[in-house]
Amino acid sequence: MPSLIYHCTLFFTFFLTFSQLGAKPISNFIKKSELNHKVGIFDHQLCNESCGKFRVSFPFYINNASCGFSNPPLLESFQLTCLNSTSLFLNIDSQNYRVLEFFSDGVLVDFPGFSNTCRPYNDLNSFGFGGNDYFGISNDNVIGLYDCEDSSLCKANCESNDLPDCDKNGNGSGPVCCYPLSDHSVWHIGDEFNVFAKFECRGFSSWVVPRGMNSGKRGVKLEWAIPLNLSKEACDVNGYIVNATTVKHGVRCLCGDGFVGDGYVNGTGCLKCVLTSAFAAASFLALLCLIKRSVKSTAYGSPHKPQFRSTLSFRKSCNTRLFTLNELDEATDGFNEGQKVMDSCGGSVFTGKLKDGSHIAVQRVKCENEKDLMQVLTRVELLSTIMHRNLAHIFGCCIDSGYTPMVVYEFPENRTLEDHLHKEQPDKIGLDWYKRLSIAAQTASLLAFLQHEVSPPVSHQNLKTSSIFLDQDFNVKVACFGMFCSLELYNSEVYDLGVFLLEVVSGSKHPDMPTIALYKTRDGKIEEIIDPLLYYHEQPPFRRDQIDRVADIATRCLLFGGDGKLRMVDVARELVHITRDSIDGGSRRGPAIEETFSNSSLLQMISISPDSIYVP
């Protein structure tokens, strides 16, 4: 029995904790049917009050007073009313506010009087509340404004938020101008919305823009807190107290590093993170811990920056951003087949464009169970800490798609190597030899770097010409890593590179190419498989020699790559030598770079540049 309770608590924590991190909405995670079957088992253990689609969590409650704080004034402040078994209301100063969504640090409510559209300007007064000892109007809110006489209220950094026009019949058209409450030049903490009255607009709408996102949700987010003088012993022993942002003298609890939960001694408390366990329940906890870490870097990484459209550089600095399924669905045009660049065991890869204009590639990975899911997230975490100029940057991932997590990579201008080798180019000019050689050398160098300079070593496991992205200068950005092999070295990486090099040299994806190439090599006719677009016979001798050498490396990879006799670092070294010869036009052929370099100093030469640092 104790073990059942333990599991139940963990699962319960799961639901609360997602939202607890970075103030993401709880409902996003609760509604995933894959996980719903887990809810049942703890129903009798912990408070399970619900109203329509809402599951109420500490410190809020509906009828059962033992589900809230035990202190009477605190208890009363967080009581909700469930009307008609569907709608929840929060009563403040005898005004009822309809609850739209819960956040870990607050609650999203509607302007009184049920309205989905843009409101007449006078309705600003219907929200007659600026804050009390328990609630404050959150800085995360943004006010959309229509047809203002005085546009000094409109803030430029606000416009990148995605706030639709005054909806359907709200007849607002043209760009919405808006004012984020975090600006504090007009509205100050504690003010009511009527401070906006003097700007004489025709209408307004109210939105919250959750941290790390730039699309709004309609409503007003109220931050909640408990007064400091009533907070004694409210936090779990493994939690700590933080000041609220907009509630004067208000505080909340958070869990310390290495713990997950809501932080309150009478809520879920704080559970210890155990990152390595075969247990299903414990890996769920581990999943939370991972997510907590990644969200933390997004949400709290730069506390004083405006929460709105983060600049590209800011976004790059946070390791794993969490995308919503909606965001990716829109970006890829509903995962349209036409946007697919790869279909393989590593998952399907779709290209798309985010609202901010960034081009992305989304790798959809099919998982069977939580263990798989964990593995994918661990791998993404590891990959996103590695910085190397030839590694495609991982923007983040999406986990609200149940057992199909998605990894979001940058997708640079010149698309994939496959596109250049095989797609009909309008001008029929394929990649010239110099570009192909450089792509081969960069790819092998990156793979060697990942095997020798990163701990634990990383292998790609899904090397194909479609997993090589190319930037505007045809520099390699390796992406679309295989997700399911263990972190131990995958022993056919060198063989895979051989197949890859053959495709680069021959321009052909023929599945029997490895066999064909081995026969041609034996017969001394390797030039017969070389891509006609390389005009082998018209090339100067030193270039023909380079092509032969690369074809030779490819066949050696096929012969000796499978059993570890040929190491990636040796292949990378040879390819880099050939590239160097190419630069000085073949005049200094031969052992220009001495074999006396150790593997690591060679790797430094080929891989380490100011932007290639491994951040543990």
Ligand X SMILES: *[C@@H]1O[C@H](CO)[C@@H](O)[C@H](O)[C@H]1NC(C)=O
Report the interface residues with ligand X, using CB under 6 A: 43-44, 47-48, 50, 64, 66-67, 69-71, 84, 86, 133, 169, 171, 227, 229, 233-234, 243, 249, 265-266, 413-414, 452, 472, 599-600
Report how far residue 359's alpha carbon sits from residue 384's, in angstroms, rounded to the nearest whole number.
18
Q: What is the DSSP letter of 487?
A: S
Cβ neighbourhood burial of 429 (10 Å; 0-12, 13-18, 19+) = exposed
* CB-nearer residue toward ligand X: 245 or 348: 245
Report how far residue 76's alpha carbon sits from residue 60's, in angstroms, rounded to the nearest whole number.
9
CB of 524 to ligand X, least distance (A): 33
- The residue nearest ligand X at its CB is 600
CB of 298 to ligand X, least distance (A): 21
How many degrees, rounded to 5, is the angle at CA 274 between CA 295 and CA 315?
15
CB of 66 to ligand X, least distance (A): 4
Question: Which residues, in sequence order, are CB contacts of 584 under 8 Å at separation 6+?
Answer: none
* CB-nearer residue toward ligand X: 24 or 55: 55
Q: How many helices (H) and strands (E) does the chain have?
A: 15, 26
What is the torsion angle, in degrees rounded to the nearest 10, for the CA atoms of residue 591, residue 597, residue 598 and residue 600?
-110
- Cβ distance 578 to 437 under 8 Å? yes
Report how far residue 15's alpha carbon sits from residue 53's, in angstroms, rounded to the nearest whole number.
14
Q: Are strands 177-180 and 321-322 parallel, antiparallel or unpaired?
A: unpaired
CB of 303 to ligand X, least distance (A): 11
Q: What token pair was written down for 157?
A: 């950094």
* CB-nearer residue toward ligand X: 454 or 559: 454
Report how far residue 562's alpha carbon sits from residue 530's, in angstroms, rounded to the nearest whole number.
24
* CB-nearer residue toward ligand X: 44 or 537: 44
* CB-nearer residue toward ligand X: 419 or 548: 419
CB of 478 to ligand X, least distance (A): 18
Q: What token pair was written down for 203?
A: 């209408």
* Residue listed under structure tokens 């005898």: 94
CB of 174 to ligand X, least distance (A): 12
CB of 588 to ligand X, least distance (A): 27
What is the torsion angle, in degrees rounded to the nearest 10, for the CA atoms of residue 578, residue 579, residue 580 and residue 585?
90
* CB-nearer residue toward ligand X: 67 or 99: 67
CB of 227 to ligand X, least distance (A): 5
Report how far residue 450's alpha carbon sits from residue 85's, in angstroms, rounded to the nearest whole number.
56
Q: What token pair was written down for 577?
A: 């030598």
* CB-nearer residue toward ligand X: 133 or 496: 133
Q: What token pair was written down for 224?
A: 């909640």
Which amino acid belongs to residue 351?
T
* CB-nearer residue toward ligand X: 84 or 587: 84
Going through 299-339 in order, the beta strands assigned E by DSSP cover 321-322
CB of 105 to ligand X, least distance (A): 15
* CB-nearer residue toward ligand X: 38 or 549: 38
Length of the chain: 616
CB of 460 to ligand X, least distance (A): 18
Q: Which helix (H) or strand (E) holds 374?
A: helix 370-385
* CB-nearer residue toward ligand X: 535 or 542: 535
